[in-house]
């Protein structure tokens, strides 16, 4: 008999007042009992609507069936067939707009907690299994992957499983891309990312760090001189945007990328860190996406007494996941909606002292379908703060575009690629934020997966 | 890991290291920089490429000991390894078509100015070099500059070596003396670049300066190295590090460069204490 409870099994979490003072993971994950109980809520619909909501098409009802039966390792094998980063996806995927949105149980009550179950299965496997994935029989073809974020890692893993000799080139000193520099420890522990990367290495994937492709080697050199038959570009969207308002270059004004990189990649939250980060008392974060939530919650954990998220539209338009917004509010983050900064005031010693904002109202819908925020004249007011973090989104890095002749890009910098990652250059594929602009981890993984398939076909094509 | 094949102490606070980095050595050009981490726990710091040897596969860096990282770096010797070394980053200096150039270097900035002067000399340009230091003990690369310069002036603040005065004094004298430069290239402390640019603006001589702000990734990702040039925000790591000296907002750069001064001083002290303890 299925479990007909209308609610998900709750996931235990650190108390907000405690977690907002540390960098440990917020939620603890299901126990085996809770997981099995939750798995029994699945009705095993014949048409599997949940799978249609998954960008990497995990066989969801099948793995849940195994969880319900207590066959957790079997469940892991089913997930692993289609997903290369299950422990990551179980944590950072927006399930509420993907698999869980399509879940029949969600029509009346809450959907099955697919994300929490995925996380449970992956964590249990990682904690208990010493089995490394088996290497595939080499097929004699060489492929390169540029960028080791979710798109690149997925593409590399899928190619390695098909027998390709894969080398991943990463610009930073550590592999993982946004998973290590962007998403904070308390939302995605770095040991989990490392474990997934170790699994890829076990599959035979080589990872070369400190290699800025477009600078130290070009795409053409990779293909002509180093014998890579196909290249996947998964370089993400790293270039931070600024507003162009007065005071934006004051000392205590950060882009979210800089702030998060200092805190996450460079571990500036640790007392013994050699990379500094300003520990401000009152912090304003500008923006409403997941990155803004991450920045606000990091600032709080670094000891800020007051953290305010300033967003120009209303709560309904917040692009961040509902769960992240909820967690942020529980931790005492203040939200100021329909508010937009117009200037940052300089205080002592070149630091920010406050932000002048203007109130907004929602007008007609714009190209994105959301109602456009319009400033209310004469409604300026001040928010006192000693640091500002700009989380306004990012655009693709131009390093590869500028050094690869014949690679078509959009006017805003994104690489032009079809649904399978094929770019305007033969043998060159691309996917993830480098193509779409800033999006989610799972969409990038889906793109990496599709490209791996297309690259496989390309490299096996008859020649002549 | 990247092996240090040569180490030379240039003066009590400035050290030269030649590092094995064959991929970077193949591509590096004057004006570009690298980012390094000394060890597993290290921060990332940018250092300009001072020289490169494509055959030997080495890149030379010259650094001044100012904080914890440079202190630790300075304690590494020949045969030891640097954890991470990535580059070449930034755009190379533009030297094409230049016939008559004044290269102005200040302090450790001379390390960056030298490869530019060398390249200009190599392409047949007339190179006038003006280098400035606080005093005699801090003079570096005099011989190297001498070998690639048609005219060379060494200035010291206290007159203990060369001529007493600032680089701007010598540059002004050269310009007044009739040297018609296509371009002035100034590399050194921000305040020096500011005053060189103010001077050359009076004479309408195009001036290029090289910026070395605080950086983390060095590939355009973090935006930490941003500066204002002609009223627009630019990233030194991908748009520079060379910029039109007459358009740069120097005061803003000086402020931003001081953001972590206290932290750096403490880190250096910590590093020093650590090494004192390790020495018997």
**Lowest-pLDDT choice from A213-217, B64-68, B165-169:** B64-68
pLDDT of residue A463 exceeding 80: no
Q: For A67-81, what is each residue's pLDDT tens digit?
A: 999 999 999 999 988
Per the CB < 8 A criterion, the answer to whether B46 and B33 are in contact is yes
A133 falls within a domain: no
Confidence of residue A271 (pLDDT cuts 50, 70, 90): confident
> pLDDT tens-digit profile of B145-186?
999 999 999 999 999 999 999 999 999 999 999 889 999 999
A435 shares a domain with A365: no
One domain, residues A384 and A254: yes
Domain membership flag for residue A137: no
Same domain, A110 and A233: no
- Residue identified by tokens 């997934």 is A196
Flag whether A204 is in a domain.
Answer: yes
Please say which residue of A392, A412, A438 terminates a domain.
Answer: A392
pLDDT tens for residues B8-49? Answer: 999 888 999 999 999 999 999 999 999 999 999 999 999 999
Q: Mark yes or no for CB contact B252/A249 under 8 Å.
A: yes
Nearby residues of A315 by Cβ (< 8 Å), 6 or more positions away: A335, A337
Could you tell me if A441 and A330 lie in one domain?
no
Q: Looking at the predicted structure, is the pLDDT value of residue B228 above 70?
A: yes
Bridge partners, B105 (sequence order): B131, B187
Note the pLDDT of residue B280: 38
Per-residue pLDDT, averaged over A218-234, amounts to 96
Supply the mean pLDDT for chain A. 93
* Pairwise CB contact (< 8 Å): A210 & B84: yes
Q: Do B226 and A249 touch (CB under 8 A)?
A: yes
Q: What is the pLDDT of residues B67-122, one digit of tens each?
A: 889 999 999 999 999 999 999 999 999 999 999 999 999 999 998 899 999 999 99
Task: Give the domain range for residue A338.
Answer: 242-392
Between the alpha carbon of residue A366 and those of residues A59, A323, A336, A363, A374, the distances in Å are: 37, 26, 22, 9, 11
Measured CA to CA, the distance from residue B55 to residue A431 in angstroms comes to: 37
A116 & A42 share domain: yes
Mean of per-residue pLDDT scores for chain B: 92
Q: What residues form DSSP beta bridges with A5?
A: none
Residue A2 lies in a domain: no
Distance CA A290, CA A93 (A): 11
User: How many residue pairs bridge chain A and chain B with CB atoms within 8 Å of each other?
Assistant: 107
Span B230-270, pLDDT tens digits: 999 999 999 989 999 999 999 999 999 888 888 888 888 88
Chain A residues in contact with B264 by the CB 8 A cut-off are 276
| CB-CB under 8 Å, B68 with A216 | no
**Whether A424 and A346 share a structural domain:** no
Q: How far apart are CA A295 and CA A64, in angstroms?
A: 34
In a domain, A6, yes or no: no
pLDDT in tens, B122-134: 999 999 999 999 9
Of B43, B85, B227, nearest to A275 by CB-CB distance is B43
Best B218, B222, B232, B255 residue to mutate vs chain A (most A CBs within 10 Å) = B222
How far apart are alpha carbons B187 and B185 in whole angstroms? 7
Contacts of B251 in chain A (CB under 8 A): none
pLDDT for A230 beyond 80: yes
Contacts 24+ apart (CB under 8 A), B263-272: B263/A276, B264/A276, B264/B66, B264/B67, B264/B68, B265/B67, B267/A274, B267/B67, B267/B68, B267/B69, B267/B71, B268/B65, B268/B66, B268/B67, B268/B68, B268/B70, B268/B71, B270/B68, B271/B68, B271/B71, B271/B72, B272/B71
Q: How many structural domains is chain A composed of? A: 3
| DSSP helix, strand, coil percent of chain A (3-state; round to 5) | 35, 20, 45
Hey, of A215, A217, A235, A393, which one would you mutate to test binding to chain B, going by the most B CBs within 10 A of its CB?
A215
Q: Are residues A148 and A274 in the same domain?
A: no
> In this structure, are A173 and A249 located in the same domain?
no
Give the minimum alpha-carbon distance from A258 to chain B in angstroms, rounded to a whole number. Answer: 4
**Are A57 and A116 in a shared domain?**
yes
Give residue A238's pLDDT. 81
Residues A321 and A246 in one domain: yes
Both A399 and A380 in one domain: the answer is: no
Q: What span, in angstroms and rounded, lies between the C-alpha atoms of B113 and B185?
A: 8
User: What whole-number distance in Å separates Cα of residue A424 and Cα of residue B225?
Assistant: 33
Confidence at A272, pLDDT banded by 50, 70, 90:
confident
Q: Inform me whether the pLDDT recorded for A288 exceeds 50.
A: yes
pLDDT at A462 exceeding the cut of 90: no
Q: What is the enclosing helix (H) or strand (E) of A458?
A: helix A441-460
Q: What is the DSSP string of A206-274?
A: EEE-S--BTTTB-HHHHHHTS--SEEEE-----EE-----TTTTSTTEEEHHHHHIIIIIS-TTSTT-S
Q: Does B88 touch chain A (CB under 8 A)?
A: yes
Looking at the complex, report in whole angstroms how far the Cα of residue B179 sits from the nearest Cα belonging to chain A.
37
Taking the model in full, what pTM does it have? 0.92
How is A119-149 classified by DSSP, letter by letter? HHHHHHHHHH--PPPPPPPP-S-EEEEE--S
Q: Do B245 and B267 meet the contact criterion of CB atoms below 8 Å apart?
A: no
A interface with B, Cβ–Cβ < 8 A, is: 171-173, 181, 209-212, 215-217, 238-240, 242, 244, 248-252, 254-255, 257-258, 261-262, 266, 272-276, 278, 350, 397-399
Q: Report yes or no: B27 at the A interface, CB cutoff 8 Å.
A: yes
pLDDT value, residue A464: 58
CA distance A398 to chain B (A): 9
- B-chain CB neighbours of A240 within 8 Å are 221-223
Give the least confident one: A110-114, A130-134, A434-438, B211-215: A130-134
Q: Does B273 touch chain A (CB under 8 A)?
A: no
Residue A30 maps to which CATH number? 1.10.1060.10
Q: In residues, how long is chain B? A: 280
B71 shares contact with chain A (CB less than 8 Å): no
For the segment A297-325, what is each residue's pLDDT rounded down to a tens digit?
Answer: 999 999 999 999 999 999 999 999 988 99
Chain B residues closer than 8 Å to A244 by CB: 233
* A9 assigned to some structural domain: no
Rounded alpha-carbon distances, angstroms, from residue A216 to A170, B25, B30: 12, 9, 15
Confidence grade of residue A398 (pLDDT, cut at 50, 70, 90) = confident
Residue of A nearest to B255 (CA): A350
Q: Please determine, for residue B277, whether its predicted confidence score (pLDDT) is greater than 70.
A: no
Pairing of strands A230-233, A142-146: parallel
Residues A382 and A247 reside in one and the same domain: yes
Question: Hey, are the CB atoms on B220 and A399 less than 8 Å from each other?
Answer: yes
Work out the average pLDDT over A218-240.
94
pLDDT at A45 over 90: yes
Q: Which two tokens stand for residue B142?
A: 């005099």
CB-facing half-sphere around the CA of B69: CA atoms within 13 A: 23
* Final residue before a domain boundary, out of A128, A159, A190: A128
The length of chain A is 464
Nearest in space to A412 (alpha carbons), one of A383, A436, A439, A431: A436
Give the distance from CA A439 to its chain's centroid.
8
Answer yes or no: is pLDDT of A262 > 90: yes
CATH number for the domain that contains residue A407: 3.50.50.60
Produce one character per residue of A209-218: b if its CB has 16 or more CB atoms within 10 Å, e if not. Answer: ebbbbbbbbb
Residue B278: pLDDT band (50, 70, 90) is low
Nearest chain A CA: its distance from B138 CA (Å): 28
Residues of chain A with C-beta less than 8 angstroms from the C-beta of B228: 249
Which DSSP state fits A409?
A: B
Alpha carbons A163 and A359: distance in angstroms, whole number: 57
| A contact test, residue of B223, B224, B225 with most A CBs within 10 A | B223
A5-42 pLDDT, tens per residue? Answer: 999 999 999 999 999 999 999 999 999 999 999 999 99
In a domain, A64, yes or no: yes
* Reported confidence tier of residue B279, pLDDT bands at 50, 70, 90: very low
- Domain assignment present for A271: yes
φ, ψ dihedrals at A261, nearest 5°: -65, -45
Domain boundary among A95, A128, A161: A128
CA distance B216 to chain A (A): 8
């Amino acid at each position: 008999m299925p479990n007909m409870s209308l609610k998900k099994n709750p996931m235990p979490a650190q108390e907000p007042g405690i977690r907002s003072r540390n960098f440990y993971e917020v939620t603890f994950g299901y126990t085996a009992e809770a997981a099995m109980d939750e798995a029994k809520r699945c009705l095993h619909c014949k048409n599997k609507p949940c799978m249609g909501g998954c960008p990497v098409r995990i066989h969801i009802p099948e793995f849940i069936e195994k969880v319900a039966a207590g066959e957790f390792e079997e469940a892991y094998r089913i997930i692993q067939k289609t997903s290369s980063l299950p422990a990551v996806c179980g944590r950072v995927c927006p399930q509420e707009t993907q698999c869980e949105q399509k879940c029949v149980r969600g029509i009346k009550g809450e959907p099955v907690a697919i994300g929490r179950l995925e996380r449970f299965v992956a964590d249990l496997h990682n904690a208990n299994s010493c089995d490394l994935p088996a290497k595939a029989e080499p097929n004699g073809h060489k492929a390169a992957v540029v960028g080791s974020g979710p798109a690149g890692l997925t593409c590399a893993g899928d190619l390695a499983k098909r027998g390709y000799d894969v080398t991943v080139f990463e610009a930073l000193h550590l592999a993982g891309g946004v998973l290590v520099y962007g998403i904070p420890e308390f939302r995605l522990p770095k040991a989990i990312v490392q474990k997934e990367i170790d699994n890829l290495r076990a599959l035979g994937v080589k990872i070369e760090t400190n290699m800025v492709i477009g600078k130290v080697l070009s795409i053409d050199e990779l293909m002509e001189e180093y014998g890579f038959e196909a290249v996947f570009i998964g370089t993400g969207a790293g270039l931070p945007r600024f507003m162009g308002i007065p005071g934006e270059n004051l000392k205590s004004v950060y882009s979210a990328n800089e702030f998060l990189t200092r805190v996450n990649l460079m571990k500036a939250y640790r007392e013994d860190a050699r990379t500094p980060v300003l520990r401000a008392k009152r912090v304003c974060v500008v923006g409403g996406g997941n990155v803004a939530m991450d920045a606000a919650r990091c600032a709080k954990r670094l000891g800020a007494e007051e953290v305010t998220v300033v967003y120009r539209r209303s709560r309904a338009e917040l692009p961040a996941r509902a769960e992240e917004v909820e967690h942020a509010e529980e931790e005492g983050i203040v939200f100021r909606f329909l508010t937009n900064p117009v200037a940052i005031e300089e205080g002592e010693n070149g630091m920010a002292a406050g932000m002048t904002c203007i109130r907004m109202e929602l007008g007609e819908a714009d190209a994105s379908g959301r109602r456009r925020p319009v400033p209310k004249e004469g409604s300026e007011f001040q928010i006192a703060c000693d640091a500002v973090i700009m989380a306004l989104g990012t655009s693709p890095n131009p390093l590869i575009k500028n050094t690869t002749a014949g690679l078509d890009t959009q006017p805003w910098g994104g690489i032009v690629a079809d649904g399978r990652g094929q770019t305007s250059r033969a043998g060159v594929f691309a996917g993830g934020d480098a193509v779409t602009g800033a999006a989610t981890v799972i969409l990038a993984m889906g793109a990496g997966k599709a490209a791996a398939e297309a690259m496989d076909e390309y490299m096996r094509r008859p020649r002549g | 890991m990247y092996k240090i094949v040569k180490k030379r102490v240039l003066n009590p606070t400035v050290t030269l290291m030649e590092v094995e980095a064959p991929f970077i050595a193949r591509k590096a050009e004057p004006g570009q920089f690298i980012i390094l981490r000394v060890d597993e726990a290290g921060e990332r710091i940018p250092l300009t490429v001072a020289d490169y040897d494509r055959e030997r596969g080495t890149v030379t860096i010259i650094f001044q000991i100012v904080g914890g990282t440079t202190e630790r770096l300075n304690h590494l010797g020949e045969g030891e390894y640097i954890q991470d070394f990535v580059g070449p980053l930034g755009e190379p200096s533009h030297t094409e078509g230049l016939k008559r150039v004044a290269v102005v270097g200040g302090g450790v900035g001379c390390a960056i100015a030298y490869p530019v002067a060398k390249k200009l000399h190599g392409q047949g340009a007339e190179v006038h070099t003006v280098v400035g230091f606080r005093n005699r003990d801090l003079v570096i690369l005099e011989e190297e500059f001498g070998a690639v310069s048609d005219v060379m002036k060494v200035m010291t603040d206290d007159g203990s070596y060369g001529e007493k005065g600032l680089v701007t004094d010598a540059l002004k004298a050269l310009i007044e003396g009739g040297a018609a430069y296509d371009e002035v290239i100034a590399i050194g402390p921000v305040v020096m670049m500011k005053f060189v640019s103010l001077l050359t603006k009076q004479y309408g001589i195009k001036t290029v300066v090289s910026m070395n702000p605080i950086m983390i990734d060095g590939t355009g990702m973090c935006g930490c190295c941003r500066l204002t040039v002609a009223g627009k925000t630019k990233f030194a790591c991908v748009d520079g590090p060379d910029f039109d000296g007459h358009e740069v907002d120097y005061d803003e750069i000086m402020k931003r460069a001081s953001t972590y001064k206290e932290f750096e001083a403490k880190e250096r002290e910590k590093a020093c204490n650590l090494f004192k303890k390790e020495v018997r």
